[in-house]
Structure formats: C-alpha cells, structure tokens
Structure 1
Amino acid sequence: MKVTLKKIAEKSNVSIPTVCRILKRKKSSYNKKELRVIKIANSLGYPYIEYYNQFKSIQKIAIILKLGTGEFYSSLLNGFIEASINTNYQFNIISIVKEKNPVQKAIEIANQHDGACIFLTEFKEKEYIKIKNNTLNKPIISIAPIPNPVFNTITFDSYRGGFLTAKFYFENGLNNVGLICGPNDNTEANNRKNGFIDFVNSNKSMNLNWIYNGDYSIESGHAAFNDLIENNIKRINLFSCNDAMAIGFIKEASEKNVKIPQEIKITGYDNLPICVNMTPTLSSIKTNYKKLGKQVIFTFDNLSNKSLTESTLSLIPVELINRDSTKK
C-alpha cells in the first residue's frame, strides 16, 4: 500500500504542508517535532528516508586556533561537541601555535577538511583575504571578530559584556572603578574594554581610576594586583577582560591578605567552570559556547545551501553572572 503524506500527517498530528516541508528540507539537525515526523515516515516505509540517510554524510570541520593552557579551550570544544549532537557535523580542534607560517598552515588545514572555523585573534584582514583566496571555495567561518569581516563571523557580544559590568557597578553605587585589559592587538579584548569605558564615561558619577594592560594570562593578573598596590589604590571595583587574569589577581590578593570582595570587587569574562570552584567564587560574563556552536552549524547549513552570499556578522548574547567576588 502506497504511503501518502496525508497518512504521515494523521499519524504525526500535523498538517500535510508541514510534513511536506520537513521531508523535503535539507538540514543537518532537526527539532523534536521534525524528528518525530521523520521517524513516523520511516516506520511507514516512506521512500524519502533513503534519500535522507544518504544526505547525512559527516561534515568534518576544523577549529583552527593557537591552543593555550587553561579551561577556556576545553570549554570551547565542549560547547561545539554539545551543539553537534544529532547533527552531521564533527568538530576537531587543530592548534597551529608552533607554526612559523600560520596563514599557510591554516590554508592547508582548511583544504583538508569539509570546512573550517578560524579562531586566530591576531589575524587581520589581509591574512583572512589570503586564506579566502587559497581555500578552494571551502566554507569558512571566523569565530574571532575583525572590524571588516572577510568570512561570515560569529562571535560573542564582547562590547556588551564590558557594558553590563560597568552598569552593574553603577546601579549598586560602586562608582570607583578600574580595568584590567587584554592584549592591545586583540579586537575582542578591545571590544570588552570599550564597552566598560563607554558606560563609565556616560555617567559622570563614575570614575575610572586605574587601568592595567594585561595579556590574558594568570601571570598578568598577579602583575596587575602588584601594580594596583604600588599605586596605593584601595577600595576599587574592577573588570578583568578575562577570567584568567581575574584568577591571578585574586590569588595574589589572597597571598597579600587583601580581602575580596570586602576591599576590592572584581568581575571576569568567560564564566569558566573554575569560577564556581574557587574562593571567593568569581563573578563573570557568561559566554555560551553551545549557542555559539549551534549558530556556527546553522551558518554552515546556509552556506552549503547557498542561502548566504555575503559575509555577515552574528553576535551571540552574553550575560553577567554575579557571585561572591562582587558581593556587598
């Protein structure tokens, strides 16, 4: 007996047009309702399913970066792995930290995979253009921001993260503030810094009394604390542009018997797992790597379906998680 769309619709409790849309659409991932319709069609012997199974070939995507120490990289990969469950995408982290010619190596890696995500914060427009011109039309997405995107770029709203931190201090009457910056040549670090500074400058009651130029390392967090003490600055509310520097700062403060949050309050950025496993627990800007991965997969789908013809910039929302390090 021939299986009809009407029969599938009746069993699935959806409309015939909905069944038609689900069974014809090419996607790498499906929601619960879509999966239910597909399973019912499969159980009834609908012939589309054979085509569907053929379509779901594994897409191997390289995440190209310079791997460092700490929880950030494991959190990033874990988010992408979670996002890829029940899809036909497989993500692999490949580090080019020791490469003498990182641009050429990125080109080679991209050409050996079905696509690539680039997280190389030091790359500028000219490096991206060289990669684009030498990657055989491979779908490539950047997850590190640059001012003028060459590839489709998906990243967190870093500016908003700094803005939210300053806003929290202002709303709680904590107007004496300071800043531990990330690397000056890092666009994302500058976005975080600028969001914080812009909010402070827009409110006359706030005073930005201290800035330290760090490099995202725990060691620069130690150095930031020592610089603060050398400048005889006390009772200040800080934004560290990543968690690692905040962790280094807190460790140094603890060793010098400076109490956090009683004397100094501090907020980090990235909301790494260690934030809830330290004393005091660290307030931080939450970045959802699973959401980032989902948006990357969605964009790869659109690239494969030719739905995107120009480079776009997508910002993933962030939120402030308050913990003991900013407690009153």
Structure 2
Amino acid sequence: MKCTLKDLALETGFSVSTLSRFLCGKRRYYNQKEKLIFDTANKFNYPYIQNFYNNGIKLKISLITTIRKGEFFSALLSDFHIAAKNSNCDIEVIDIEKNDFLNNKIEPLAKNKDGLCILFPDLNKEDCNIIESYTNKIPILSLSPIIDASVNTITFDNYKGGYLAAKHLKELGYDNIGIISGDDTVFEAFQRKNGFMDYLRSNNMKCQWEFKGDYSLESGNKAFIDFQSSKVSNIGIFGVNDYMCFGFMKLALLSGINIPEKLSIIGFDNTPFCNNTIPELSSISTNFIELGERALSSLEKSFINYNKTELFTNLVPVELIDRSSTRDLKN
C-alpha cells in the first residue's frame, strides 16, 4: 500500500501541512525536524524526492580532497563542475588534509550537506572504518580505490589502464620494457603497476628496468638519471602518472635523447599538458566528467534509497590515447 502524507503524520506526530512544507517545498532546512521527516519518509518509501527535482531543488554535495598544484586537480575540479551542471546537485569543493578530515572534520563538513565525495588516494582499511561510522548519517562515496573497501566507491579502472599500456608497447614491437612505478601503499598506483606487469607475465615478457617514484615531476627527473645508468636501450616505458613522464621527458630532451626514436613512453591520466609536451605524450585517458556524472548520480540514488543500497565498487572505463611519444618499431 502506497504511503501517504497522512501515514507520515501518524508516524511522526507532525501535521500534514508541516510534512507537505518539508517534502513538497522548494528549499531545504537542514534541521532535526527535517531529518526526522526524511528518515521516516525513507522508511515508508514515500516518493518525496521527485517533488524536490520537479521544484528545481538541488542536493548539496561536497567534493573533499587535498588539492595540490598542477593540471590534475585543475582538470578534476573543472570537469566535476561540468558534471554538476547536468545533475540535480550543487558542488562545494573542500581542500583539507586526509588526517585532519578523518580525525576532526567529518561531522562538521557533513552538516547541511546531502552527500560527500572524497578523494584521498592513500585511504586504508583503518581510514575506512572511521568513514564507515558516518555512513548511516550521510551518503559518502570514495573516488579512490581502497583495498577491502567498506565504503562505496566509484573510480577509474586503474588495472585495465596498466594492462592497455603494456599491450600497446608489445603491439609496437618492444621487447625491452620499463616502468616508472609509484608508491605501492597508494592502491591506485599498485593497481596500475599490477595491470602492466600481469600483461607482461601473460605474454612471457620481462620488465628490464623499474624506478619507484612518487607521482611528482622531480621523481620523473630522478627516474631519467637512473635510466641513463641502466644502459638499457630501445625500450618502451610506462609511467603510472603523467607528471613523472613529464619530468623524465624534460631531462631526456635536455640530454639530447630523441623520443620516440630512442625510446617510447606512455603516461596515465591524460592531463591537458600531454598535448603540449615535445613530443606529445601518449597516455591512458581518465574521463573526469564521466567520473563526476556517475558519482553524483550515485549520491542522488543514495539520497532516494538511503540505507537501502548494498556496498558497491564501480569502475569507470579508461582508454589509451596514442600520440607521438610512442612509435611502431616494425615500420
């Protein structure tokens, strides 16, 4: 039997007119009375959310991350705002360190919000336990992959990206293969490396050179210095993010090493500067607009079906963008 305002009035003790003002109105109040009404409406499957959308009311969502300098965050924030324009959500960006967020700020940042998107690449199981304790109060979604996740997650298919990079280098005819990897405690870097290495193993290929970086331009510089001392030639290299590739390519250019004549290199994230390097950097493309659209749609559904959705991890597809930093050895 369909729930009515009269049923909700009997359950909450509020009048039908009060319920109507909250559930069929044109604004949010974010107080305890509204919370009780929403929780009760959810419990009895009252389809109030459509009234919000029909009246043009938007959900308030916070995108919470630690913002660093560089094109990655510029592209992420710009594309998330584009995604929000096509949704029923308004986005607020919060710049905060992970530990400060986990230890002090989850509850105050959740106040007067309808959902939280969090992007902290180094989230671990203990961090998730802290976040999970708040998921009964507000929908929370991670945009970074987490080992044994206990928080809903929508993120890129990092493993597939590494796999595609290795596959492309093989198709170009490279037998000598190298990688500029990242911090293995950062799960997305671990996944990207694993996808790459698994393809090599399944095709009886070996990685002749590896340098562990930290996603920075400086570690890309250090990777090139280490590469020069390795004496490996005619190699195809995968960098698990674009910035390390940029640092590597800069020193290669200054050292007179021609890319892709002497080596090929592929990055990850397809940041806008990939089109402006010399040569232009081939990269695994991550579509931030699609990530934003999926994330906001998921939070909208969580708001409608609060506490009724099962734990999930959804992967956004990635693709290889082939540019002039790679060449076919067979031609």
| TM value normalised by structure 1 | 0.80
**How far apart are the structure 2 equivalents of 1:51 and 1:227?**
61
Letter in 2 for 1:227: D
Return 5+ residue gaps in structure 2 as ranges. 1-49
Equivalent in the alignment of 2:255: 256
The alignment partner of 1:165 has SS state of: helix
The alignment partner of 1:81 has SS state of: helix
Equivalent in the alignment of 1:120: 120
Instruction: Provide Cα deviations, 1:96-138, integer angstroms capped at 9, x if missing partner.
Output: 1386564422443233522111111122122122122146611
**How far apart are the structure 2 equivalents of 1:152 and 1:55?**
29
Question: Conserved in 2, the CA contact under 8 Å of 1:96 and 1:102?
Answer: no
Which residues in structure 2 correspond to 1:125-274 (within 5 Å)?
A: 125-134=125-134, 137-204=137-204, 206-274=205-273
The alignment partner of 2:185 has SS state of: coil
**How far apart are the structure 2 equivalents of 1:131 and 1:99?**
12
Equivalent in the alignment of 2:304: 305
- Aligned CA distance change for structure 1 residues 128 and 214 (closer, same or farther; 3 Å): same
Letter in 1 for 2:66: K
Equivalent in the alignment of 1:5: none
Deviation (angstroms), 1:233: 2.0
How many residue pairs were aligned? 278
The alignment partner of 1:278 has SS state of: coil
1:97 paired with 2:104, answer no
- Aligned CA distance change for structure 1 residues 106 and 216 (closer, same or farther; 3 Å): farther
Deviation (angstroms), 1:87: 2.5
Equivalent in the alignment of 1:69: 69
Letter in 1 for 2:96: I
**How far apart are the structure 2 equivalents of 1:143 and 1:58?**
21
Letter in 1 for 2:104: Q
The alignment partner of 1:160 has SS state of: helix
**How far apart are the structure 1 equivalents of 2:83 and 2:101?**
31
Deviation (angstroms), 1:261: 0.6
- Aligned CA distance change for structure 1 residues 266 and 136 (closer, same or farther; 3 Å): same
Question: Conserved in 1, the CA contact under 8 Å of 2:114 and 2:303?
Answer: no
| TM value normalised by structure 2 | 0.79
The alignment partner of 1:325 has SS state of: coil
Equivalent in the alignment of 1:278: 277
**How far apart are the structure 1 equivalents of 2:209 and 2:287?**
30
Deviation (angstroms), 1:60: 1.7
Letter in 1 for 2:324: D
**How far apart are the structure 1 equivalents of 2:174 and 2:87?**
46
The alignment partner of 2:258 has SS state of: coil
Deviation (angstroms), 1:327: 2.3
The alignment partner of 2:257 has SS state of: coil
Equivalent in the alignment of 1:296: 295
Question: Conserved in 2, the CA contact under 8 Å of 1:111 and 1:136?
Answer: no
Instruction: Provide Cα deviations, 1:265-321, integer angstroms capped at 9, x if missing partner.
Output: 100000011001121000000000111111112211221121752110100000000
Question: Conserved in 2, the CA contact under 8 Å of 1:261 and 1:325?
Answer: yes
Deviation (angstroms), 1:174: 1.1
- Aligned CA distance change for structure 1 residues 217 and 53 (closer, same or farther; 3 Å): closer
**How far apart are the structure 2 equivalents of 1:99 and 1:126?**
12
Equivalent in the alignment of 2:46: none
Deviates more, 1:89-98 or 1:290-299: 89-98
Deviation (angstroms), 1:54: 5.9
**How far apart are the structure 2 equivalents of 1:190 and 1:303?**
29
Deviates more, 1:263-272 or 1:169-178: 169-178
RMSD of aligned C-alpha atoms?
A: 1.9
Deviation (angstroms), 1:86: 3.7
1:317 paired with 2:314, answer no
**How far apart are the structure 1 equivalents of 2:102 and 2:194?**
29
The alignment partner of 2:325 has SS state of: helix
The alignment partner of 1:150 has SS state of: coil
Deviation (angstroms), 1:232: 1.8
Letter in 2 for 1:226: I
Which residues in structure 2 correspond to 1:50-69 (within 5 Å)?
A: 51=51, 55-69=55-69
Question: Conserved in 1, the CA contact under 8 Å of 2:286 and 2:319?
Answer: yes
Letter in 2 for 1:85: K
Letter in 1 for 2:322: N
Deviation (angstroms), 1:74: 1.2
Equivalent in the alignment of 1:35: none
Identity %: 38
Equivalent in the alignment of 1:287: 286
Instruction: Provide Cα deviations, 1:33-81, integer angstroms capped at 9, x if missing partner.
Output: xxxxxxxxxxxxxxxxx94666432222111111111101111112211
Equivalent in the alignment of 1:36: none
- Aligned CA distance change for structure 1 residues 138 and 245 (closer, same or farther; 3 Å): same
